[in-house]
């Protein structure tokens, strides 16, 4: 069912961009967030809902509404799930927290099929991954009124001691790539394929 606010001008104006960048939603090879969370030892909790951004002050068309603003802004490693109508659509990871990661997804708005505030087209220098994800979610909410959520696993801090010029030095290790890869593998073990909106995982792990 089309969203009630689909006729707002900034949503209408993004039709050409959505036609190019939105992926077709397919739900036959996925798993519920609840079941996947159980398979990951209950590590994930809901962090935010993703909704249409109807504000005339912003050009962007989707917005994340955090359950807890302080947790959302924390700068630490996390694994996140993008969940549509209770089903896992993407597994990702971030080193700097969800506020920063969501901000990078919003850069997916800036495709050549959209105009800047001065009326000229964006140069199209955004990440292709961000553009696909942004427009897929926007298009899906507009056309089906689907419910999108973000679930997160806050990763433990891992400290390793290395010898630097003869001096033992504690270093905070970056681990989210390994966790992300293992989570994608767990998803594939359950469903037979990686999530719809995942492009790949780190082959190192």
User: Nearest 5°: phi and psi at 132?
Assistant: -65, -45
Helix (H, G, I), strand (E, B) or coil at 21: helix
Say if CB 72 and CB 99 are below 8 A apart: yes
Rounded Cα distance between 42 and 201, Å, is 22
Has residue 203 got a pLDDT over 80?
Answer: no
Q: Tens digit of pLDDT for each residue in 136-189?
A: 999 999 999 999 999 999 999 999 999 999 999 999 999 999 999 999 999 999
CB atoms within 10 A of CB 115: 13
pLDDT value at 61 more than 90: yes
What gap in Å lies between CA 142 and CA 12, rounded to an integer?
A: 10
Q: What is the DSSP letter of 108?
A: G
Separation CA 48–CA 107 (nearest Å): 19
Q: What is the pLDDT of residues 72-111, one digit of tens each?
A: 999 999 999 999 999 999 999 999 999 999 999 999 999 9
Q: Is the pLDDT of residue 114 over 70?
A: yes
Q: What is the pLDDT of residue 99?
A: 97
Task: Extract the tokens encoding 34.
Answer: 């609840």
pTM recorded for the entire structure: 0.93
């Amino acid at each position: 069912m089309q969203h009630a606010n689909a006729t707002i001008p900034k949503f209408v104006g993004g039709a050409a961009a959505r036609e190019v960048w939105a992926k077709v939603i397919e739900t036959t090879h996925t798993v519920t967030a609840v079941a996947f969370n159980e398979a990951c030892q209950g590590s994930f909790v809901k962090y935010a809902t993703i909704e249409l951004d109807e504000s005339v002050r912003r050009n962007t068309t989707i917005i994340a509404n955090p359950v807890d603003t302080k947790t959302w802004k924390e700068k630490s490693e996390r694994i996140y799930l993008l969940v549509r109508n209770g089903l896992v659509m993407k597994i990702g990871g971030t080193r700097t927290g969800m506020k920063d990661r969501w901000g990078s997804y919003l850069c997916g708005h800036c495709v050549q099929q959209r105009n800047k505030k001065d009326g000229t087209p964006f140069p199209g220098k955004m990440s292709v991954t961000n553009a696909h994800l942004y427009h897929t979610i926007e298009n899906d909410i507009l056309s089906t009124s689907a419910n999108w959520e973000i679930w997160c696993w806050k990763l433990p801090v891992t400290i390793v001691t290395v010898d630097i010029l003869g001096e033992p030095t504690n270093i905070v290790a970056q681990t989210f790539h390994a966790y992300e890869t293992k989570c994608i593998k767990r998803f594939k073990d359950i469903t037979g394929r990686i999530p719809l909106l995942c492009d790949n995982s780190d082959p190192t792990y």
